[in-house]
Amino acid sequence: MTNATPARGADRPALIVGLLLLALAGVVYYDASQQTITSNYGLGPTAMPLVACAGLVILGLTHLAVAFRGGLPKPDEADRGALLWIAGGLAGLIGCIALGGGFVIAITILFASTARGFGRRALAVDAAIGFVLGLVIFLVFAKLLTLLLPLGPLERLFL
């Protein structure tokens, strides 16, 4: 099923994945070596990390080997603009929550930029839809489910 067309030289994605897995194994190993309390018999807290570490090392090395034999399936070219809009929307949402801007504004940002990322050109309309959606969700959560979503100046008006 995979399109394993033999590439010339090393397959970069496979190489990167392999190195990242090895790096992760290193982090896990370092963390396990910092554990001070170990048990007398049975499994200590370091056994499972060491198993995970060993698995990651094997998988990392296999990826390095695979990198020179066909590598990973070659994906189509990605639409970077779309990805940036959505990632930006998510970053905007996190920023808005972190700065205390509240749920509704955060959702407005996310909805509008995601819709933009998927190719809509009506940013203002989508922002309005996102705003209403956010407000409705906030009220349903607050009144019906008694779950409080992040508050900002706007949300405090409704409580």
Partner 1 sequence: MDTLLALMNGFGVALEPSKLLFCLVGVFLGTAVGVLPGIGPALTVALLLPVTFKLDPAGSLIMFAGIYYGGMYGGSTTAILLNAPGESASLATALEGSKMAKAGRGGPALATAAIGSFVAGLIATIGLAFLAPWLVEVAIKFGPWDYFALMILAFVTVSATFGDSPLRGLTSLFLGITLGLVGIDKLTGQARLTFGVPELLNGIEVTTLAVGLFAVGEALYVASKRFRDPEEIIPIKGSLWMSKQDWKRSWAPWLRGTAYGFPIGALPAGGAEVPTFLSYSTEKRLCKYPEEFGKGAIEGVAGPEAANNASAAGTLVPLLTLGLPTSATAAIMLAGFQQYGLNPGPLLFAEKPDLVWGLIASLFIANVMLVILNLPLIGLWVKLLAVPQPWLYAGILVFATMGTMAVNASPVELGMLFLFGYLGYLMRRFDYPVAPMVVGLILGPMAEAQLRRALQISLGDPMILLENPISATLLTIAAIALVAPFVMKGLNRFKAAED
DSSP string, 130-158: HHHHHHHHHHIIIIIS--PPPP-HHHHTT
Quick check: 17 binds partner 1 (CB under 8 A)? yes
Tell the smallest beta-carbon distance from residue 157 to partner 1 (Å).
19
Quick check: 118 binds partner 1 (CB under 8 A)? yes
Site for partner 1 (CB under 8 A): which residue of 5, 6, 146, 157? 146
Please give the helix or strand (H or E) that residue 140 lies within, else none: none
Tell the smallest beta-carbon distance from residue 8 to partner 1 (Å).
19
- Chain centroid to Cα 55, Å, comes to 23
Quick check: 145 binds partner 1 (CB under 8 A)? yes
Quick check: 109 binds partner 1 (CB under 8 A)? no
Quick check: 100 binds partner 1 (CB under 8 A)? no
The site map against partner 1 for 26-65 (x = CB under 8 A) is -xx--xx--xxxxx-xxxxx-xxx-xx--xx--x--xx--
DSSP string, 65-118: HHHTTT-SPPPPPP-HHHHHHHHHHHHHHHHHHHTT--HHHHHHHHHHHHHHHT
Cα dihedral: 92, 98, 102, 104 (round 10): 20
Quick check: 79 binds partner 1 (CB under 8 A)? yes
Quick check: 92 binds partner 1 (CB under 8 A)? no
Quick check: 123 binds partner 1 (CB under 8 A)? no
